[in-house]
Amino acid sequence: MTIYYSILLFILGSALGSFYTVLATRLPLKRSIIKPRSHCDNCGHILTAWELIPILSYVILRGKCSKCRQSIDPTSTVVELFLGITFVLAYLYFGFSLNFYLLLIILSLVAIIFVSDFKFMVILDSPLIISALLVIGLKIYYVGMTETIYSICYGLITFAVMYLFKLLGDFLFKKESLGGGDIKLSFLFGLILGWQLGLLTIAVGSFIAFPIALYVTMKKTKNNEIPFGPYLILGLLVVFFFGETILKFIII
């Protein structure tokens, strides 16, 4: 059964990766995710069913449009492959447990936020809201209503801390220092991990982003803004696996 579930999860992950890429590239531009149908950005060729098979179509077409032979943006294929592989690894590591389902939500957010924030400097509200509702539903089922209410409170704590960081940053830099999406995202940190690991996630995400921000600042370009969301969600992924160990190291 392990092989059977692994194959199904790889297919599910790659299919969701294709869908998430559409969400992350269309919604920031206020475009419908249904119309127009998927097409070549260069010649407008409407993709047929066999050209929309996750990963496989890109390989068969050798990364080029079947009509104009221009290179296809590999973003969707990378996301499909990433989610296909990580969904399987999540199952092999956790089985069908609460942590497995929470990790699938985190991995989905990784995929969506990386695409939308790097391309458009936007973290979409809808994935955050849906993720929060899914986490709350999972927690009610697995740990009960009381613990879920605590988790929601922990989420509000990390949200409040992130909002205070924004106010401080706005005051120091005399401009907007954090986007609203980054602050809303922080609610999920406490909701999923609790307030201690949630705050640690903010710290780890900031630590990951710091050298990039320093490099961009030293270049002194006109636009020295960097998307913070991808680094925060990476921090969530790191803390999900290693948070307790990091906390013990810090306390010691």
Q: What is the pLDDT of residues 80-109, one digit of tens each?
A: 999 999 999 999 999 999 999 999 999 999
Cα–Cα distance, 199 to 11 (Å, whole number): 34
Q: Does one domain contain both 115 and 213?
A: yes
Compute the Cα dihedral for 32, 33, 34, 35 and give only its sign: positive
pLDDT at 45 over 70: yes
Cα–Cα distance, 153 to 195 (Å, whole number): 8
Q: Does one domain contain both 91 and 133?
A: no
Percent of the chain with pLDDT over 70: 96
Q: Does one domain contain both 126 and 246?
A: yes
Q: Does one domain contain both 68 and 121?
A: no
DSSP assignments along 113-163, one per residue: HHHHHHHHS---HHHHHHHHHHHHHHHHHHH-HHHHHHHHHHHHHHHHHHH
Q: Does one domain contain both 88 and 105?
A: no
Q: Which residues does residue 86 pair with via DSSP β-bridges, in sequence order? A: none
Q: Does one domain contain both 242 and 152?
A: yes
Name the most confidently modeled range: 69-78, 230-239, 240-249: 230-239
Q: Does one domain contain both 111 and 194?
A: yes
> 0.75 exceeded by the pTM?
yes
Report pLDDT digits (tens) over 145-174.
Answer: 999 999 999 999 999 999 999 999 888 877
Which of 68, 96, 124 terminates a domain? The answer is 96
Checking phi first, is residue 62 left (phi over 0); if not, alpha (psi -120 to 50) or beta? left
pLDDT greater at residue 68 or residue 99: 99
Domain holding 242, by residue range, is 98-252
pLDDT at 223 over 90: no
Q: Does one domain contain both 221 and 164?
A: yes
The number of domains in the chain is 2
Q: At what angle do helices 180-193 and 125-143 cross, to 10 degrees?
A: 10
Which of 61, 77, 96 terminates a domain? The answer is 96
Q: Does one domain contain both 74 and 129?
A: no
Q: Does one domain contain both 146 and 69?
A: no
Percent of the chain with pLDDT over 90: 66
Which of 96, 117, 151 terminates a domain? The answer is 96
Q: Does one domain contain both 128 and 179?
A: yes
Q: Does one domain contain both 130 and 196?
A: yes
Looking at residue 5, its pLDDT comes to 96
When pLDDT is averaged across residues 52-70 and rounded to a whole number, the result is 85
